[in-house]
Amino acid sequence: MTATAGTARLVLVSHHLCPYVQRAAIALAEKGVAFERRMIDLANKPGWFKAISPLGKVPLLIVRDDHGAETVLFESAVICEYLEESQPGPRLHPADALERARHRGWMEFGSSILADLWGLETARDAAAYQVKAAALRDKFARVEEQLGAGPFFSGPAFSLVDAVFAPIFRYFDLFDTITDTAILTGQPKLAAWRRALAARTSVKAAVGADYGARLRDFLVVHDAHILKLAA
């Protein structure tokens, strides 16, 4: 749900490709909360962004109070937890404390997968690519073991774990048009989960229509080995 620029109580500072931005955008959409999306170019960071981003990264969530004062939150996990604790709408964490902690652990595991995906998409030679592909196959096999009947991570209810993994699977929408990475092969529960997430309105809306083209351009700029595997 998009709010009018300049009037939103929540402003999500974003980049077109960032998967961490996507998880925050998905959480906002699942909550049904109006927010403004403000895109920046990370290769040419504006001064106002550098002034309010301690790590120089996205996402940021600017939270405006009733008097117009602004608080800036950084790090996607922090932003998602804040949204869960402060905003109306469906709960995105389990009510049980132990299960909630388990979910948080798998959210961190998702972040480790993103680190390996970065290595895969920026690998310039076969050796580096294969190391990351092997690491990803091992990690996805571990996730497969955690999945039940679905359609989502812990059953019928969409959770923040789903918001974390939806941007992960989105990478493979492009990868699959280039080559068979075999990273997700033979994991039927992952395949079903991926399909369920791809069909979710919040997941579709988390990126622009040009996401795939932008990601391919990124691979070209980084002389990515995966492009050399194209049939």
In this prediction, residues 85-106 reach a mean pLDDT of 97
Letter for the amino acid at 196? A
CA 206/CA 89 separation, integer angstroms: 18
pLDDT of residue 4: 43
In this prediction, residues 38-56 reach a mean pLDDT of 97
Give yes or no for a contact between 84 and 160, defined as CB atoms under 8 angstroms apart.
yes
Asked if pLDDT for residue 8 goes beyond 80, the answer is: no
pLDDT of residue 184: 98
Return the H-helix or E-strand segment holding 71.
Answer: strand 70-74
SS3 assignment for 110-132? HHHHHHHHHHHHHCCCHHHHHHH
CA 137/CA 144 separation, integer angstroms: 10
Q: Which domains does the chain have, with CATH numbers?
A: 10-86 (3.40.30.10), 97-229 (1.20.1050.10)
Nearest CA among 164, 204, 158 for reference residue 19: 164
Q: Note the pLDDT tens digit of each residue in 118-170.
A: 999 999 999 999 999 999 999 999 999 999 999 999 999 999 999 999 999 99
Asked if pLDDT for residue 206 goes beyond 90, the answer is: yes
CA 147/CA 118 separation, integer angstroms: 24
